[in-house]
């Protein structure tokens, strides 16, 4: 049997049902793994191991009694940003270390109701406003594939937990790539659902850039968790009716037309990223898809102008408000984020300008997806960010070009603008520094099933490694 700490959730459920494996055995293995690797990785912001073992014993009885739920007994690490009633809700900030949540996030409600066991919560950057994961509250989270690198952000703790075997499933959230970037950087699968598919909490449920979603090591596991957390919720007016399920049988792409964009426009792309992305297209052709190279033609400057205007209208003011009261407790990157967003929104007509830019960004994507079933492109232009670097005073260079902002290495914000498009990150390979790389599979608006079909086909023809050699 595979090392239990890296066992797929779908396989664990099968073994639970056949009584070949106990939920207690799986939970014990995951906890032992965490105790062994966490001193090096630091992906878990809070551990609830004792209670998790008690819940695993209850799950064992549920299988014995013939009444298991869809996630019964599966260890799930949840992103610390997603609150649990009665527990600290710090947002990764020293400013909120005494703040206790009064409600539980709908995603956590649902996975617990399905029998999933929240054994740990995962680290984020402060206020989830960075593409890396470290904070003054929790310290530095490292990438299990290369400890000199970050697992990405802001759901970096979730990605690192999956890659290091300290969770079977994990949750994330994504406002500019915060699920897809850590998934790409940790060799895992991450899904940004279309806006409204998965319920969220006010006020950010009303922000069309914001998406909560699943993370896993396999496409089937990611679909499993997505099917549990999707659907309308009474506290979220934008949550969609009815609930839509991803099919259980995945991987048939015969005859699908897929647009392959080596670049979305003028992003800098390292040769290793380009080669790995191309290899994924070859795998899809082998699986029976029709893959054609296309040009999207977006300007990076326009995308990030729109993004920071948007942040300046909604997300930025939240950070600015906290900074006004607790500025000495905040990280340099959080203060820099607030300042950049405020500057972008400074003009009274900026919000309208942002909407016009967003419309222009979606136009070529919409035209492509009218002709093709899906669009494939790199997730990032370079294989990872250095661990512990804020990139406030230090510039980030990709392909020999110094970027204005390190976040410009990400191709993910395009699809927060095109927020109704489902996007699945799957691994595309490894870079020479040992870091995993990823591709984004983008679907037509609200077509969840197709991106999972494409992702499963990639996994079948070009499977990826789950466990870093160094751990």
The residues assigned a catalytic role are: 79, 154, 178
Written as one string, the DSSP assignment of 304-349 is: HHHHHHHHHHTHHHHHHHHHHHHGGGS-HHHHHHHHHHHHHT-STT
User: What residues have CB less than 8 Å from 204, skipping those under 6 apart?
Assistant: 175, 210, 314, 315
Which H or E run contains 422? none
- In Å, what is the CA distance from 282 to each residue of 69, 258, 260, 270, 272? 39, 12, 11, 19, 15
DSSP letters spanning 104-152: --HHHHHHHHTT-EEEEEE---GGG-SSS-EETTTEE--BTTBTTB---
- Give the separation between CA 208 and CA 238, rounded to whole angstroms: 9
Q: Residues 6 or more apart from 298 whose CB is under 8 A from it?
A: 264, 265, 266, 361, 364, 414
* Cα–Cα dist 351/355, whole Å: 6
CB-CB neighbours of 251 under 10 Å: 18
For the chain, give the longest Cα–Cα distance.
64
Rounded to whole angstroms, the Cα distance separating 171 from 213 reads 6
Structural contact between residues 194 and 160, judged by C-beta atoms closer than 8 angstroms: no
CA–CA separation, 267 and 271 (whole Å)? 12
Question: What is the rounded CA–CA span in Å between residue 318 and residue 210?
Answer: 14
Residues 6+ apart with CB under 8 A from 4: 21, 25, 26, 29, 30
Report the residue count for the chain.
471
Q: Are 431 and 420 contacting, i.e. CB atoms less than 8 angstroms apart?
A: no
Pairing mode of beta strands 189-192, 75-79: unpaired
Task: Tell whether the torsion through CA atoms of 292, 266, 297 and 264 is positive or negative.
Answer: positive
Residue among 438, 434, 429 nearest 463 (CA): 429
CA dihedral 180, 181, 187, 188 (to 10 degrees): -30
């Amino acid at each position: 049997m595979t090392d239990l700490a890296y066992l797929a959730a779908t396989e664990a459920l099968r073994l639970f049902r056949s009584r070949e494996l106990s939920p207690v055995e799986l939970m014990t293995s995951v906890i032992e793994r965490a105790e062994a690797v966490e001193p090096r990785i630091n992906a878990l912001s809070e551990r609830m191991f004792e209670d998790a073992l008690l819940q695993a014993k209850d799950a064992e009885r549920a299988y014995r009694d013939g009444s298991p739920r869809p996630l019964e007994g599966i260890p799930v690490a949840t992103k610390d940003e997603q609150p649990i009633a009665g527990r600290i809700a710090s947002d990764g900030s020293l400013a909120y270390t005494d703040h206790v949540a009064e409600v539980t996030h709908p995603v956590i409600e649902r996975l617990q109701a399905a029998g999933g066991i929240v054994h740990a919560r995962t680290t984020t950057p402060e206020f989830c406003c960075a593409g890396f994961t470290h904070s003054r509250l929790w310290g530095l989270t490292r990438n299990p594939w290369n400890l000199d690198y970050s697992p990405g952000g802001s759901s970096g703790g979730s990605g690192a937990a999956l890659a290091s075997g300290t969770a079977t499933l994990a949750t994330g959230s994504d406002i500019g790539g915060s699920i897809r970037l850590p998934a790409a950087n940790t060799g895992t699968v991450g899904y940004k659902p279309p806006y409204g598919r998965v319920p969220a909490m006010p006020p950010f449920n009303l922000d069309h850039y914001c998406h909560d979603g699943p993370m896993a090591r396999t496409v089937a596991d990611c679909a499993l968790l997505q099917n549990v957390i999707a659907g309308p919720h009474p506290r979220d007016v934008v949550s969609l009716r009815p609930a839509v399920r991803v099919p259980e049988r995945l991987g048939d792409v015969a005859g699908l037309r897929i647009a392959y964009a080596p670049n979305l426009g003028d992003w800098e792309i390292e040769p290793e990223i380009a080669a790995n992305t191309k290899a994924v297209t070859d795998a899809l052709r082998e699986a029976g898809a029709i893959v054609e190279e296309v040009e999207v033609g977006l300007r990076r400057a326009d995308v990030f102008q729109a993004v920071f205007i948007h942040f300046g209208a909604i997300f930025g003011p939240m950070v600015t408000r906290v900074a006004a009261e607790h500025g000495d407790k905040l990280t340099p990157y959080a203060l820099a984020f607030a300042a950049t967003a405020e500057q972008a929104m400074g003009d009274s007509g900026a919000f309208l300008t942002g909407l016009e830019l967003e419309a222009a960004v979606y136009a070529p994507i919409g035209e492509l997806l009218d002709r093709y079933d899906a669009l494939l492109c790199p997730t990032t232009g370079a294989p990872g960010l250095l661990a512990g670097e804020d990139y406030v005073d230090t510039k980030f260079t990709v392909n020999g070009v110094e970027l204005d902002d390190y976040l410009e290495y990400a191709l993910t914000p395009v699809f927060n603008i095109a927020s109704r498009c489902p996007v699945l990150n799957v691994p595309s390979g490894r870079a020479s520094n040992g870091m995993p790389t990823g591709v984004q599979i983008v679907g037509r608006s609200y077509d969840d099933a197709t991106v999972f079909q494409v992702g499963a086909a990639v996994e079948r023809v070009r499977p990826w490694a789950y466990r870093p050699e160094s751990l």
